[in-house]
Amino acid sequence: MTMRFSVLILTLVLTACASHPLPPDWQAGAYSGLKSFSTDHLSGNTRLADFEFSRARNELARTGRFERVARAELVRCAVQVASLEFNDCPGFTALAPDAGDAERAYADFLTGKTVDSKLLPPHYGAIVQGHKDALRSLEDPLARLIGAGVLMRSGRLLATDIDLAVDTASDQGWRRALLAWLGVQAEYAERNGNANLAALARRRIELVGGSR
């Protein structure tokens, strides 16, 4: 993770308790757990990631607020999208009837559906509206990879987007995400006759794959 924690999590997970000098224990525990989950999952530490997510979810569940747990499930789904692990967000789906319009819109966004950008975190507006260089406008590395995954899922991913996603995962040392995006880069290069780039991507996959 970067020193500045993901915009996604800051936006979706917890609302600060402004009337208290210190956050309640559940809030601190959930924040810590989701932050660790994201880092561990993107880096390929599956067992630790699962543990940290369960810890965060349990902290949120003890507040009895469906929307808080639903947002945690959206964080998990978003991190999976960043690593090109596509599903229908089953953890969120079970909670969707008790979630808000913004949460349901974000879930649809993650699955590549067309949504009203006004219901999403503002930094994803350019992705929804199809702006040129929309992906590059996302400064937060995790948000950028999530955006790249959404573009791929909706069939709008460009070669330059793939290269940017590879560079982003590489710069952060996110092993799982990097392997996934290098695979996409290699396949795209092969389909388009760029044998040199395809071979380089394959060699990088071997290098990263041996870095456990």
Tens-digit pLDDT profile for the chain (212 aa)? 443 444 445 445 544 344 456 778 899 899 999 999 999 999 999 999 999 999 999 999 999 999 999 999 999 999 999 999 999 999 999 999 999 999 999 999 999 999 999 999 888 999 998 888 899 999 999 999 999 999 999 999 999 999 999 999 999 999 999 999 999 999 999 999 999 999 999 999 999 988 66
d(CA 150, CA 146): 6
d(CA 210, CA 212): 6
Neighbours of 14 (CB within 10 A): 19
What pLDDT, on a 0 to 100 scale, did the predictor assign at position 211? 64
Would you kindly state where each structural domain of the chain is located, as residue ranges?
7-161
What pLDDT, on a 0 to 100 scale, did the predictor assign at position 178? 98
pTM, whole model, 2 decimals? 0.89
Neighbours of 170 (CB within 10 A): 16
What pLDDT, on a 0 to 100 scale, did the predictor assign at position 70? 95
**Which residue type, as a one-letter code, is found at position 40?**
D
According to DSSP, residue 26 is labeled H
What pLDDT, on a 0 to 100 scale, did the predictor assign at position 15? 44
Contacts of 133 (CB under 8 A, 6+ apart): none
At 111, phi and psi to the nearest 5? -90, 5
